[in-house]
Amino acid sequence: MPSHILPLRHLLLALAVVAIWGTNFVVIKFAFAHLPPLLFAALRFTFACLPMVFFLPRPKASWGNIAAYGLLIGVGQFGLMFIAMNGQISPGLASLVIQTQVFFTIFLAMRMTRERLRPVQWVALAMATAGIAIIASHTDGSTTVGGLLIMLVAAACWAGGNMVNRQAGKVNMVAYVVWSSLFAAPPLFVLSLLFEGWPAIEQGLRSADAATWAAVLWQSVGNSLFGYAAWGWLIARYPAATVTPMALLVPVFGMAASSLFLGEAMPAWKLIAMALVMGGLAINLWRRAG
């Protein structure tokens, strides 16, 4: 029977994953100094795919399922998230708002099962909605209403990807990410060419320095391959209720890193919004774990 307590080395592994996922939002911002957002997203999924696609067998899921996941996560979640983060929402708030995918996932699952929200879920949703409303009422030069809406659509796409992933059944998650990236990178390159233009692509690739390429590899290797591999390894060995609450630390790392490295201000309203959104997520998570 799996243990409910993480030994120190596995606790540190889980913390390393959420730290990478959280600080990832600051790394994204650094990359925008040279790369336009859609090109950056395309490169992220290119290196998530190559060369690992030649070494990992295709997961036991249909081509349609793999393609749908790649489009929803690659183009929908990350494509839109990078567009929003390119001057329309701060990295700290982005790391928080994207977590609303939990509620979008619940609603999509309920449409499939026709289950109704329980009272405690209404409380959790009301708390998270109040947090998002606070963010919307304090838009400024670093965050706009448009950026907030784009992030919410990105979160909805992530939720759609979760549902597609659930339909795939038990698959090797690292291989699933690698093979689905085959369907994410090409449309992102096409969209970059159409909306950002070849001159911007050429200039971005020419001006990209070692730090920019390190940011790309941090996204593809650290965030995708290591993150999913380590998280999947932990989930396979410990109860979900032991591991998944650690994901609540992602926005904490995201907002702390944004404040430390980018100087993002953390006024009281941001902290209140974070407390409300994360409180709603925690209530929902613990309800499911109970």
**Per-residue pLDDT tens for 129-166?**
888 888 877 766 678 889 999 999 999 998 898 889 88
Mean pLDDT of 28-56: 93
| pLDDT given at position 126 | 85
Tell whether the model's pLDDT for residue 289 goes beyond 60: no
Percent of the chain with pLDDT over 90: 38
- Looking at residue 176, its pLDDT comes to 92
Read off the pLDDT band of 172 (50, 70, 90).
confident
By the 10 Å C-beta count (0-12 exposed, 13-18 middle, 19+ buried), 53 is classed as middle
- Tell me the pLDDT band of 58, cut-offs 50, 70 and 90: very high
**pLDDT band (50, 70, 90) for residue 70:** very high
Task: Give per-residue pLDDT as tens, 91-133.
Answer: 888 888 888 887 787 788 777 767 676 777 788 888 888 888 8
For residues 73-91, average pLDDT: 93
Q: How many CB atoms lie within 10 A of CB 194?
A: 9
pLDDT at residue number 1: 44
Residue 200: pLDDT over 70: yes
Contacts of 271 (CB under 8 A, 6+ apart): none
Q: pLDDT-based confidence at 244, cuts 50/70/90?
A: low
More confidently predicted of 235 and 204: 204
What pLDDT score does 140 carry?
63
Instruction: Please give the residue that has the higher pLDDT: either 199 or 108.
Output: 199
Which one has a higher pLDDT value, 122 or 13? Answer: 13
